[in-house]
C-alpha cells in the first residue's frame, strides 16, 4: 500500500511533469540505491569481505544523488539512523553507553565513515558554490527578508506543518508558492500557530514512542533477550503481539499442496512497528531539513518537488499506521473499514494526480491553475505566454492584473513596458520602464530599452546618460547575471552607435572596446565587431577595419551587414572582384532585403555599370518601398543611368514618404527643370 500511495500521490506531479523535476527524480533514484547498498552492508557486516564493497556503493550512490540535487546527501544520515535504531535496535539511552564501552566497533566504524563521507561531499559542494549560499530575490522567500525576528521564527516553524498538510491533503497545488502565497505568521495570536503546535507535538510523540527505552524481556529463537537489543544472528525480535501475528501468518503461508510443514523455524520475521516508524520519520524529516531554512535561507517558500523524497517516509508512515490499527481491532467490520478507507485514499490521490497532470499539459493551463494560490506570479507568467501567442490585449490585461496584486514587481513592469514598446506606445513604455528601474535599480534591460526609445526620439543626450548609467551598474546581487551582462554590453553597443552617428569615432571605439571587455560568453558579437570596423574605416584605419570585419564574419558567417561593409572596404582598396563576391553573397543570404541590392547597385554605379546599377536600384525600391533612404537612392541611381522617367517616379515616392522635406516642391517645378531639382535635393538630403 505504501508503494501504491507513492505512485499515485499528486504532490509528485511537478517533479514528474516538469523538466526541472528531473533533478528530484534522479536524486531519489540514487538515494534509494545508496540506502539499499547500506542495508546490504549491515546484513553482511562481519560475515563477508564484500561488506565494504556495499559500503563503497553506498558512498558512490550518495555522491551521485547529491550531484542531482543537494538534498540527496541526506541519505547518509538516513543510513545512520537505520543502522543504529532499526538494524541494531538501540534506544536513545543506549547509544552513549555503547560508544563509551567500546561495544560494536563495526557499527561505530560505519557511522564514522558515513560522517566523514558526508562531510567531504558537503565541503566539496560548498567549494563549488564559492563558499557562500546561493542568492535569491526577496520575493522568493519573504520570511527570510522580514525585519521581524518573531515573524521569521513563527513562519519558519509553520512551513513544515504546511508541507505535511500538502502531503496529507493535496487539494490545492501550485507551480509557485513564493511572494504572498503563504502569508507571514506575524503574531502569536495567528490561528495557524495551532497547526504548528499540533504538528510538532505529534512528531515528538511519534519519535518518543518509537525510541522509548525497553522494559520487558522475552524469549526469541530459544534465547532470552531484552527488547531492543540484537540477538545472536544479528536480527531483532518483535513485540509480543507482532510475534503472535507473525506466527499466525507464517503458519498460514507454509501450507503447500501436499500438506502443512511444521517447521516453525522457516517463518519469515516481519519488522516491528517501531522500526518502520523510525525509518519512516527519518525518510520524512531528514531529506526535508535542507528546505527548512534552519541552516541557510532557501530561494522558495514551498516547493512541491522538494517533497518527492520525504513523501516516501510519509507514505510508509500512513501505511504502518493503518496496519497497526488493522492488527489491533478485532471486529471484522472495522478491519474492512480500515482497508477500504486506505484504498479510497489511494484512489482519490490517483484521481487528483490525473487532474493535476492536465494542468501541466502546457504553460497556459499551468499558470491559470496557479492564479488562486499566487495571482501575481501566475498572471505575470500567463502574460508572457499570451504575448508569445500574439494575444496582445489579453497579455496586457494579464500584466496589469499581476501588477494589481503586486505593484512593485520589476520584471512585470518591464514586460508590460516591452509589450507597449513593441506596439509603438513609446510614452507608456517609458513610464513603465522608469517604474521598473525604480523598483529594481539594477535592471539593465530596462535602461537599455529606455535608451533606445530616447535615441529614436532624437533625445540623444538623455539616451547617452541612460546608457552610461546602465554601464556603471555593479555586477553584484543580481537576479540573472548572464542577462544583466548581455544588457550592459548592448547598452555600450548602442552608446557607441550614438557617438558614431554624431561623428565622434574615437569615443565610439573606446565604448566598443569596453563592451568587448564586459561581453559575456553567450553574447552574439557580430554586430559589435562590425561597428568596430565601421569606426576604424571612418578614421581611415583600413587594416584595423578589415580585421574587425573579418572577426564579425568569423563570429557569424551569414551576417549580412558585415558582408556589405566588408565589400565596401574591398572596393575602396581596389579589390573589386572580391568586393563583388561579398555583395552577391549578401543578396544570396537574403534575397528579400532591398538594402543588399542597394549597396550592390552603388558598387555597380561606381564601376560605371549603369544599366546593372539601375536594375539593382529598381529591385531595392520594389522590396523596400517604404524606406525613404532606399527609395531616394534608387531614384538617384536611375537618374545617373539616364532613366529619367523612372527616376522621377521614385523621387516622387520619396517625397511622399517624407512630406516634411522640401521634395514636395518638385511637383510644382516644370518638367524640364525637375530633374535638376532632384539632383539639388539629393545633395540636400544627403
What pLDDT was estimated at residue 643?
81
User: With bands split at pLDDT 50, 70 and 90, how would you rate the model's confidence at 660?
Assistant: low
Percent of the chain that is helix, strand, coil (3-state, to 5): 70, 0, 25
Taking only the tens place, the pLDDT of each residue in 440-478 is 999 999 999 999 999 988 899 999 999 999 988 887 767
Length of the chain: 686
Least confident of 193-207, 305-319, 468-482: 468-482
Instruction: Give CA–CA dist 650/7, Å, rounded.
Output: 72
3-state class of 230 per DSSP? coil
Calpha distance 395→390 (Å, rounded): 8
590 pLDDT band, cuts 50/70/90, is confident
Point out which residues pair with 259 in neighbouring strands: 256
CB-based contact 447:437 (threshold 8 Å): yes
Residue 405: pLDDT over 60: yes
Burial of 83-120, coded b for 16+ CB within 10 Å and e otherwise, reads bbbbbbbbbeebeeeeeeeeebeebeebbeebeebbee
DSSP code for 307: G
42-51, 485-494, 570-579: which has the minimum mean pLDDT? 42-51
Q: How many CA atoms lie within 13 A of 608 on its CB side?
A: 0
CA distances (Å), origin 11, targets 171, 172, 332, 455:
10, 10, 33, 51
- C-alpha 69 chain-centroid distance: 14
The pLDDT of 300-319, averaged and rounded, is 94
Are 209 and 201 in contact, with CB atoms under 8 Å apart? no
The domain ranges of the chain are: 1-208+271-355, 591-668
Residue 361 confidence (pLDDT)? 92
* pTM over 0.95, yes/no: no
Spatial separation of the C-alpha atoms in residues 235 and 212, rounded to whole Å? 19
Encode pLDDT of 151-180 as tens digits: 999 999 999 999 999 999 999 999 999 888
Q: Which helix H or strand E contains 352, and what residues bound it?
A: helix 332-359
What distance, in Å, lies between the first and last C-alpha atoms of the chain? 83
Cα 342 to Cα 105: distance, rounded to the nearest angstrom: 43
Whole-angstrom Cα distance, residue 55 to residue 75? 13
Tell which CATH architecture fits domain 591-668: Alpha Horseshoe (1.25)
Chain centroid to Cα 77, Å, comes to 29
The C-alpha atoms of residue 215 and residue 227 are separated, in whole angstroms, by: 7
Amino acid at each position: 500500500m505504501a508503494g501504491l500511495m507513492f505512485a499515485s500521490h499528486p504532490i509528485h506531479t511537478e517533479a514528474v511533469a516538469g523538466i526541472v523535476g528531473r533533478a528530484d527524480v534522479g536524486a531519489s533514484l540514487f538515494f534509494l540505491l545508496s540506502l539499499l547498498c547500506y542495508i546490504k552492508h549491515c546484513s553482511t557486516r562481519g560475515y563477508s569481505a564484500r561488506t565494504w564493497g556495499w559500503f563503497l556503493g553506498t558512498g558512490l550512490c550518495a555522491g551521485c544523488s547529491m550531484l542531482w540535487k543537494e538534498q540527496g546527501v541526506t541519505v547518509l544520515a538516513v543510513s545512520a539512523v537505520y543502522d543504529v535504531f532499526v538494524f541494531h535496535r538501540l534506544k536513545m539511552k543506549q547509544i552513549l553507553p555503547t560508544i563509551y564501552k567500546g561495544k560494536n566497533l563495526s557499527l561505530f566504524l560505519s557511522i564514522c565513515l558515513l560522517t566523514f563521507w558526508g562531510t567531504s561531499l558537503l565541503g566539496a559542494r560548498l567549494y563549488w558554490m564559492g563558499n557562500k549560499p546561493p542568492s535569491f530575490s526577496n520575493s522568493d522567500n519573504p520570511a527570510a527578508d522580514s525585519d521581524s525576528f518573531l515573524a521569521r521564527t513563527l513562519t519558519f516553524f509553520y512551513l513544515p506543518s504546511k508541507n505535511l498538510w500538502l502531503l496529507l491533503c493535496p487539494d490545492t497545488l501550485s507551480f509557485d508558492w513564493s511572494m504572498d502565497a503563504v502569508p507571514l505568521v506575524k503574531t502569536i495570536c495567528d490561528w495557524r500557530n495551532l497547526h504548528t503546535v499540533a504538528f510538532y507535538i505529534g512528531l515528538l510523540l511519534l519519535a518518543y514512542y518509537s525510541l522509548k527505552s525497553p522494559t520487558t524481556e522475552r524469549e526469541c529463537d530459544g534465547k532470552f533477550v531484552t527488547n531492543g537489543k540484537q540477538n545472536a544472528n544479528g536480527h531483532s525480535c518483535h513485540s509480543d503481539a507482532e510475534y503472535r501475528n507473525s506466527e499466525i501468518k507464517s503458519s498460514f503461508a507454509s501450507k503447500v499442496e501436499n500438506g502443512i510443514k511444521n517447521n516453525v523455524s522457516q517463518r519469515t520475521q516481519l519488522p516491528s512497528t517501531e522500526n518502520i516508524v523510525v525509518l519512516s520519520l527519518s525518510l520524512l524529516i531528514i531529506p526535508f531539513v535542507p528546505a527548512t531554512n534552519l541552516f541557510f535561507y532557501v530561494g522558495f517558500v514551498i516547493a512541491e518537488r522538494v517533497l518527492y523524497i520525504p513523501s516516501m517516509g510519509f507514505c510508509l508512515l500512513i501505511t504502518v499506521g493503518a496496519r497497526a490499527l488493522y492488527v489491533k481491532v478485532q471486529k471484522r467490520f472495522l478491519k474492512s473499514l480500515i482497508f477500504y478507507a486506505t484504498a479510497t485514499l489511494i484512489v482519490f490521490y490517483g484521481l487528483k494526480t490525473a487532474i493535476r497532470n492536465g494542468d501541466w499539459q502546457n504553460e497556459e493551463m499551468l499558470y491559470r491553475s496557479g492564479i488562486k494560490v499566487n495571482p501575481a506570479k501566475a498572471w505575470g507568467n500567463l502574460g508572457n505566454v499570451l504575448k508569445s501567442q500574439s494575444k496582445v490585449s489579453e497579455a496586457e490585461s494579464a500584466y496589469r492584473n499581476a501588477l494589481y496584486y503586486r505593484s512593485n514587481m520589476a520584471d512585470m513592469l518591464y514586460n508590460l513596458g516591452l509589450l507597449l514598446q513593441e506596439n509603438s506606445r513609446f510614452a507608456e513604455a517609458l513610464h513603465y520602464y522608469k517604474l521598473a528601474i525604480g523598483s529594481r535599480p539594477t535592471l539593465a534591460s530596462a535602461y537599455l530599452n529606455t535608451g533606445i526609445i530616447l535615441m529614436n526620439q532624437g533625445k540623444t543626450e538623455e539616451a547617452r546618460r541612460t546608457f552610461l548609467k546602465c554601464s556603471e551598474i555593479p555586477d553584484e546581487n543580481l537576479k540573472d547575471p548572464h542577462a544583466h551582462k548581455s544588457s550592459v554590453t548592448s547598452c555600450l553597443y548602442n552608446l557607441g552607435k550614438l557617438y558614431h552617428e554624431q561623428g565622434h569615432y574615437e569615443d565610439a571605439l573606446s565604448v566598443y572596446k569596453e563592451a568587448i571587455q564586459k561581453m559575456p560568453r553567450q553574447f552574439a558579437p557580430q554586430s559589435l565587431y562590425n561597428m568596430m570596423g565601421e569606426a576604424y574605416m571612418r578614421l581611415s584605419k583600413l587594416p584595423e577595419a578589415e580585421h574587425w570585419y573579418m572577426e564579425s564574419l568569423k563570429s557569424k558567417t551569414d551576417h549580412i551587414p558585415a558582408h556589405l561593409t566588408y565589400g565596401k572596404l574591398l572596393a575602396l582598396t581596389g579589390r573589386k572582384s572580391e568586393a563583388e563576391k561579398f555583395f552577391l553573397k549578401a543578396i544570396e543570404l537574403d534575397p528579400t532585403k532591398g538594402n543588399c541590392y542597394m549597396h550592390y547597385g552603388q558598387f555597380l554605379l561606381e564601376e560605371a555599370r549603369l544599366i546593372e546599377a539601375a536594375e539593382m536600384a529598381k529591385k531595392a525600391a520594389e522590396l523596400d518601398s517604404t524606406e525613404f533612404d532606399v527609395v531616394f537612392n534608387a531614384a538617384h541611381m536611375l537618374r545617373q543611368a539616364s532613366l529619367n522617367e523612372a527616376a522621377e517616379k521614385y523621387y516622387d515616392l520619396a517625397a511622399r514618404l517624407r512630406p516634411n522635406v522640401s521634395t514636395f516642391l518638385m511637383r510644382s517645378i516644370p518638367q524640364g527643370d525637375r530633374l535638376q531639382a532632384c539632383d539639388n535635393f539629393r545633395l540636400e538630403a544627403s
